[in-house]
Amino acid sequence: MTMNLLRPFNGYDVNPVILDMKEALEREEMVNRTVGWDMIFFPTPAFRRMLLVGLGVAIAQQAVGIDAIQYFLVHILEEAGLERGPTQSWVLVLLGVIKLIFIVVGGKLFDRRGRRPLFFVSLAG
């Protein structure tokens, strides 16, 4: 119907315009299908690998990372005989400074060595 309405305008061929509109609608529909929970519940093989790597890294960081030590450090220090006070605070500050230094060193090494080898080294301890 639209084509019949537009044809009288100087014999303009509207078929390419309509074809472009149909392609745009198809692309939009395809994007709508690829975004959302379907990507999580029914992932493509490439996306499945990305999900597994991301979850694996997150679990590894929690299992062997410094965050686990920092979480229990106050209790560890108390068990070691350092009661709450300035000494314990200085130990916590020192640990934070050491962590910051190694973050900077790790950031520099990422550029030279790559993420994967450094990840495996960090898992080793």
Q: What is the pLDDT of residues 14-38, one digit of tens each?
A: 788 888 999 999 888 887 766 677 7
**Surface-to-core class of residue 82, CB atoms within 10 Å of its CB (0-12 exposed, 13-18 middle, 19+ buried):** middle
Alpha carbons 9 and 20: distance in angstroms, whole number: 19
Quote the pLDDT of residue 95.
85
Tens of pLDDT along 61-87? 777 766 777 788 888 888 888 777 788
| CA–centroid distance for 114 within its chain | 17
Cα angle, residue 7 at apex, residues 5 and 9 outer, rounded to 5°: 100
Question: For 67, phi and psi rounded to 5 degrees?
Answer: -65, -35
* Range in 34-38, 47-51, 59-63, 92-96 with the lowest mean pLDDT: 34-38
b/e sequence 39-52, b meaning 16+ C-beta within 10 Å: eeeeeeeeeeeeee
Q: What is the pTM of this model?
A: 0.45
